[in-house]
Structures are given as structure tokens and as C-alpha cells.
Chain A
């Protein structure tokens, strides 16, 4: 590195880190952006159906690699060391762009009530359900900025569950598929309003990049024509173009260095044994909810709330067999959503959004869509796939998790990573209320499929609380005004520090009933502008 003294060091080049880097660099600040993964091309990411971010039991296509194990403690307190592709790891991609390099790009604004969960529903015993210290209105201007600077396709006029937008999405919705009209008709019959799924995918040329070619490998993969918008092809190039941002990849940050309550810089490894140091006036942590908490804990920064409330989304999914073929291969896939069951359901905490899914790879269909009694071998087994793959509709959605303070990231006392740093130890589970919400949402997915003409419907709601996180991981550095119940303040500065901020999903108090990346980016935008305003 040519310059080891920076104004800002940002740890993690994902959704939040990219936004922070762009705004800081464009404001004239000297930025060091550190990323443990590498900058990865489409060709390097590949299209293996067995190694991607959606089918990952055999390994990922965008990291993390085997140098980053974790320890998972299950409900019976058995603990096991897991590789990044193992069950319970809570993986998110580790490349430049983070999860946004290979995500599907569902670009949802949270619902206004998502910010007021405790005052709307109360706090279930044993849970840590709470209100955000900021409101939807505080975030709305930043949703708007991100939608336009990143590039989102959608129809603002049909988002009736949200306050009015100040301007349309910058691009029209992606094309309909064969499934769209079927699902719209089903929802109409039920009296549920639907709308196109907003996606960070170009429906037309935007910001000098082309429109989507509707391939069949969107979620879990990189885009072959760069029409999918993530940090790596929007905010990070903006940061670098200023000449003020050094992006350094394939480095592992060891700890944030402090003097009293002030951070002075970070130490990081460039090889297994070569440790370097860089100094800065401001440190922004954006490594995702597991790694950000781990880094703060290893640095001795923050209070007892750091690492608690790990959450992601409990997902529900139901499958419906249609009389005819509904597969047309037009990607990305999600076209039709409803927010009819996001809130206001008697006796249920929160709710969630439901929509059709991305094009499902055949191997993913085999793994996720089998029903009890599906033949495991023989001609009947082959014919089960042949008969159903193109005739099956899937409705799925993330439910609003009710968080638990015991769903937690701590440092493992024994297991260390490749660099000798204690690994994240993951324990606890989502609160049982999440299972009740999941059961209700699942029943609505089933209802929608039946109303759409499905001749057979299958799939079960999850019933046993488990630790959620994964690609939607959030909550471990929750935002709040009271340090007794939160890890960062409303400006996302870590309580008890002068200059350490968090700009990823960790700060989410609750994680909404929608995919969270747009909220991560919008809040990173708000956080970074706030830092600059107070500089």
C-alpha cells in the first residue's frame, strides 16, 4: 500500500462497505477498503450447478474458502467445527461485492411497521423484539438514492403497502413470465394485491451497462453481461474512480487498534504470517453480521450486546403442481409478489412477503422440492422429476423473525482460523414466535397456489426454531439509544467509542419481512452521510 494513513478504513467490500466507500471517496476522504475475498470475474465464478451460493453443500463459487471455519453449537449444545459450505455456517459470499456479487437482487424497502415491531406487537417473553430508533421516514430518502444510484427495476405505483415514492424506480419491471399471469389470477381470486418484484437488475440499459438477457443462472451466480447491480459494479467503481480509494483484496483483518475509546487503525494479514497495519481517523466495519461482530469482539470493542440477536430470515416455501407446463426459462424468475400478509394478522407477530422464485436449477429442485413418498430410485424417480420440474410453481418468502438475545456470535475459545484468529462461535435459535409466523405464511402460500390452479400442493412450514442468518444475516450490532440493549447508537457508532461505525445488516434491530440488502445499503448511505456531516 502506497499510503498507510487514511481518513477512513472500511472493512468489507459488500453491500454496506461499497456504499460507504463511494460516499467517503467522493467527499474527498482518503479511503482504504479491505476485503478478505478477491475481485472475481464471471468466468471465475462459473455456472456449476453443484458449486454456487444456492447449492453450496459441495462448496461455493464465491467463497468463503476453507481458511474460514466456524463453530456451530446446536440446540442440544453439541458443538462442531464447520466449513463455509457446511450446515449451520450462515455463509455469505466473500468476494468484492460480497453477497451482492452473486445475489438475486430483490430490492425491497422494508414496511413502515418493520421499524416499529415492539410498539405494534409487544415484546414476546424471551425475545428481544424492539423498535428501531429510526423510522421508515428517516430511511426513505436513502432508499430513493440507492434505487437510482444502484439501479432497480420495478413499478413504484403498485407498491400500495408503502408510503408514496417521490419518483418512480429508474427502470420498468423485468419481463413477465408464463407464471406471472397464473399467479396474478390466483391472487385476484383471493382479493390479494400483487405487484412486480423490484430487482437490482437492468430491465433496460442503465448507467452504461446492458439490459438483462433473461438467462437461467441468476441467483447464486455472477451475471454474464453485468446487468445485475451490486456493490462491485456500482458503488465500488465510483469510489475507485475518484483516486481516493485503495481497494485491497485477499487480506484478513485481525483487529481494530485502539487508544482509549478511540480507534487508531487496523491490523491485518496479507499472507498467513505477514501482518500489516494502517491508520485512520474513522473505522467502518461492514463484514456482515457474523464477521463484524467477531471482529469487534476480538478487538475488545463494544458492550455485551455485540454478537447478540443474530437473525436472518426463516423462509417458507410451498410447491404447486400445475395442469400444464409453466416453465419458460425466462430469468431471473421472480415477477409477482404480495405484501398482503406482511402485517396486521390476528395473533401473529409480523408476517412476510410472498413471491415466485428465481429459476430453480434441476438439482436444487431435487434437493428442495421432494415430497414424502417421492421415489428415490428407479424409473418412477426419474419420471417424478421429468413430470414435475416444468409444471411446478413455487411460492416462497422470508418471514419477519422474532429475534432472541441468545441467538449469538461469540469467539470460540479453542478453534482458530488460518491466521490464528479465534473463529465465530454460533449458538442459539430464533424465538418460537417465528415458527408461528412461518406456519401462517406457509398456509397463505398454499392458499395462493390452490387459487392459481394447482392440482396438488406440498411442502411443510418449519416447526422447530433454528438459528437463522445466512445471506440475510443481521442484528448482531443492533442500533439503539440505550447501551444496555443495543450495540451501536442511531448513527451506527459503536457505543463507547469515538470513531468506530458499523455499516451492514448487523445494525438492523429487526430484519423486516423482506430481503434486506436495499435496507443495508440505504442505512449505510444514511450512516456515511451522517459521519461526513459531523466530520
Chain B
């Protein structure tokens, strides 16, 4: 996933705001990120430049307004910045990927009560 390496901390942080941890893990803490990275470097490779631009903007905003990278901000500040991009198609596509990876994972299954028996 070299192509995304520089942005992985930001994507992890976004994933944890898309599906936050509570009494079950958030999306940044499990294998859903692997799915996101696979799709972004595969089927959705053509969308990578737009994604990078959005992630860069989030980090620039974080530094300008809060003097830290996006992933180092607390959750409330991260949410505030995400509200500024939440209507952008690339953000919505990223959210959908995060959801798919999460709900396919064991943590996601446990969260909704999908119990594997047999």
C-alpha cells in the first residue's frame, strides 16, 4: 500500500470518526482499513488523486487552525473538519468503503449481533 502510506494515519483517523469506537471497536482499529487500502489501490485507483487532495486539505486545515496534523486532533475537532467535506463525493465514497470493510469484519459483525453458528 506504498501509494497510500503517507495518508494512512489520516485515513485511520477518519475511519474512527466514520465508525467511532465505543463498547465495540471503531473502524480505525480493525481490518476494515485493509479493505479500504485494497480498493483504493485497485478498483478505485483512478480516484486516488482526488482522495489525496481531500486528505491534504484536511491536514492543511488542521495545521492552520489547530497547529497539528488531522490524526493528532481530538475527536471533536476532527468532526468539525470532516463536516466541511462531508458533502464531497470522494468523502462519501471513502465512508462507504470504510463501512463495507467494517461490517464485513468480525468487529462489525459483533457490533450488530451477527453470530456465526455452524
User: Could you list which residues of chain A lie within 8 angstroms of chain B, going by C-beta atoms?
Assistant: 48-50, 55, 57-58, 213-217, 224, 327, 329, 331, 361-363, 365-367, 376-379, 381-382, 385-386, 389-390
Contact = CB atoms under 8 A, between A and B. Distances in A.
Contact of B111 (A214, A378, A385): A385
Closest 6 CB pairs of A and B: A389-B112, A49-B104, A215-B118, A213-B118, A362-B103, A377-B18
A516 to B, nearest CB: 28
- Chain B interface size, as a band, is 20 to 34
B82 interface: yes
A127 B39 CA distance: 40
B51 interface: no
Contacts of B73: none
Contact of B112 (A216, A362, A379): A362
B17 interface: yes
A365 B108 CA distance: 12
B117 A329 contact: yes
Interface in B10-28: 17-20, 22
24 contacts: A49-B104, A50-B35, A58-B35, A58-B39, A214-B117, A216-B114, A216-B118, A327-B113, A361-B104, A362-B114, A366-B100, A367-B100, A376-B92, A376-B95, A377-B19, A378-B79, A379-B20, A379-B22, A381-B19, A385-B103, A386-B113, A389-B112, A389-B113, A389-B114
Interface string B43-60: 100000000000000000
A366 B99 contact: yes
Contacts of B38: 58
A329 B19 contact: no
A354 B104 CA distance: 27
A361 B114 contact: yes
Most interface-central of B113, B115, B118 (chain A CB within 10 A): B118
Contact of B118 (A224, A365, A376): A224
Nearest to A215: B118
Given A361-B103, A376-B96, A376-B99, 4 more contacts: A58-B39, A214-B117, A224-B118, A390-B113
Contact of A377 (B95, B116, B117): B95
Nearest to A376: B95
B114 A378 contact: no
A377 B113 contact: no
Contacts of B101: 50
A361 B111 CA distance: 13
B19 A382 contact: yes
